[in-house]
Amino acid sequence: MSINLVKQRLSSIHKVIKLTLKDDRLPQTDDAARFIATSEEVKRLSRHTWQTAMDDYMERLAQFQTAMKGKNLSTIKAAFQGLLNCKISCHKAFRQK
């Protein structure tokens, strides 16, 4: 599968979780699982040149997983924001090359 298609799927589920958190609701377990699995798929398909950024993203993804298990909304929001910040940073660095 193309990395672009996988990234589109990730973006789609990212938006669902973002809107859920914006409404001060816990993300659905299935949505979080799909987000995590798709993130892992992006990592598998990513280029070696993205390795450092992906390692940071995966660390933050692990924090999100842990937060989801704890079911604390503020912790989940913080972990998800960390993922968003990481994504923005990665995209910014990619565009500067």
Q: How confident is the model at residue 87 (pLDDT cuts 50, 70, 90)?
A: confident
Ordered DSSP codes for 29-40: HHHHHHHHHHHH
Tell me the pTM: 0.87
Q: How confident is the model at residue 77 (pLDDT cuts 50, 70, 90)?
A: very high
Question: Which of 80, 65, 90 lies closest to 25, judged by CA?
Answer: 80
Ordered DSSP codes for the chain: --HHHHHHHHHHHHHHHHHHHHTT-PPPHHHHHHHHHHHHHHHHHS-GGGHHHHHHHHHHHHHHHHHHHHT-HHHHHHHHHHHHHHHHHHHHHHHH-
Task: List, for residues 5-64, the tens digit of each pLDDT value.
Answer: 998 999 999 999 999 999 999 999 999 999 999 999 988 888 776 778 888 999 999 999
